[in-house]
Amino acid sequence: MKDVTTNLPTYEDMLAAHERIKPYIHRTPVLTSSYFNELTGAQLFFKCENFQKAGAFKVRGASNAVFGLSDEVAAKGVATHSSGNHALSLSYAAGRRGIPCHVVMPRTAPQAKKDAVRGYGGIITECEPSTTSREAVFAEVHERTGADFVHPYNDPRVIAGQGTCSKELMEQVDGLDSVIAPIGGGGMVSGCCLTLSTLAPEVKIYAAEPEQADDAYRSFKAGHIIADDAPNTIADGLKVPLKENTWHFVSHHVTDILTASEQEIIDAMKLTWQRMKIVMEASCAVPLATILKNPEVFRGKRVGVIITGGNVDLDKLPWMNS
């Protein structure tokens, strides 16, 4: 895998990915809430990837990468670094193909996610909670195993797989004005850009980010990648920086990046649990938090909201300490 923008996935790659991964994923439901529609003045359509296999959208990209490997390459297994959902999604996909999966995870990653990785057969090596440590430890694991590197979000195969989510959303809901998804490294948002720029170029794409990990927001405003090494936010899935491939899609196709405070994220997460009766992670609450914060942007619009995952440590819910 080359980290160069000449290696970008195409719309055809996304269509091929959808065919490849269909046996291994759910076509997740779209839910609505009259309460949230009244609260925001918009019509919100929640694409519930928290009901996805392995509990997160990342199983789409991981499955595309794993099942696209030749038998010769697959025999050595796959490897990655991840704070959680990509790790357990890649472990799930590797397990379905019967190959090893080596994962570097921050020692501070939620225990529920570590348990899930091991439950799917993943082999964990821990690192410190910084991008620098993550990449250094991964380099050692990668060299030792010779496994195929499946980057959590900068991999063209992964972006093509994530693009299948918004393809399904457009098939499930007519007449969307915009789609909003959380942004960390930008895999899901890039997938939205990849799909919608061809399938529905009139649909605006928004990204939502925690104020305390707002490097994508600052990158977007500055016109080049700004990377933070170790931001601190309750949204543990959104701590990683953009990379070349995801930056290409974000900089070319995203309408705007909106941010929310830690308390706004927690409030939106709790409200969703209360009103929609669904388990979702703090990272997934950021889009709703930004819609509630910026109602004028979305009022009167039909908005697709991607709920990216539901792998929550139920013993450490954020409002227990807020």
- Tens of pLDDT, residue by residue over 218-248, are 999 999 999 988 789 999 889 889 999 999 9
Q: Which residues contact 6 (CB under 8 A, 6 or more apart)?
A: none
Tokens of 137: 């430890």
Q: What is the 3-state secondary structure (H, E, C) of 94-155?
A: HHHHCCCEEEEEECCCCHHHHHHHHHCCCEEEEECCCHHHHHHHHHHHHHHHCCEECCCCCC
Q: Which CATH class is domain 5-57+155-320?
A: alpha beta
Kindly tell me if the per-residue pLDDT of 29 is higher than 60.
yes
Please give the pLDDT value at position 302. 98
More confident of the two residues 219 and 131: 219
CA–CA separation, 155 vs 209, rounded Å? 21
Kindly tell me if the per-residue pLDDT of 322 is higher than 60.
no
Kindly tell me if the per-residue pLDDT of 3 is higher than 70.
no
Please give the pLDDT value at position 264. 98
Helix, strand, or coil (residue 258):
strand
Q: What percent of the chain has pLDDT over 70?
A: 98
Q: Which residues contact 295 (CB under 8 A, 6 or more apart)?
A: 40, 41, 42
Kindly tell me if the per-residue pLDDT of 268 is higher than 80.
yes
173 confidence band (pLDDT: 50, 70, 90): very high
1 confidence band (pLDDT: 50, 70, 90): very low
Residue 276: name the closest of 27, 30, 26 by CA: 30
Mean pLDDT, residues 175-200 taken together: 97
Residue 148 identity: D
Please give the pLDDT value at position 22. 97
13 confidence band (pLDDT: 50, 70, 90): very high
Contact between 56 and 127 under an 8 Å Cβ cutoff? The reply is no
321 confidence band (pLDDT: 50, 70, 90): low
Mean pLDDT, residues 282-311 taken together: 97
Kindly tell me if the per-residue pLDDT of 292 is higher than 60.
yes
Mean pLDDT, residues 145-150 taken together: 97
Kindly tell me if the per-residue pLDDT of 6 is higher than 70.
no
59-149: CATH number: 3.40.50.1100
Kindly tell me if the per-residue pLDDT of 130 is higher than 90.
no
- Chain segment 62-116, per-residue pLDDT in tens: 999 999 999 999 999 999 998 788 999 999 999 999 999 999 999 988 888 899 8
Ordered by start, the domain boundaries in the chain are 5-57+155-320, 59-149
CB atoms near residue 228 (< 10 Å): 17
Sign of the Cα pseudo-torsion (192, 193, 199, 205, in order): positive
Mean pLDDT, residues 130-156 taken together: 94
Query: How many angstroms separate the Cα of 185 from the Cα of each of 107, 146, 178, 215?
Result: 19, 24, 21, 10
Kindly tell me if the per-residue pLDDT of 204 is higher than 70.
yes
Mean pLDDT, residues 119-133 taken together: 93
203 confidence band (pLDDT: 50, 70, 90): very high
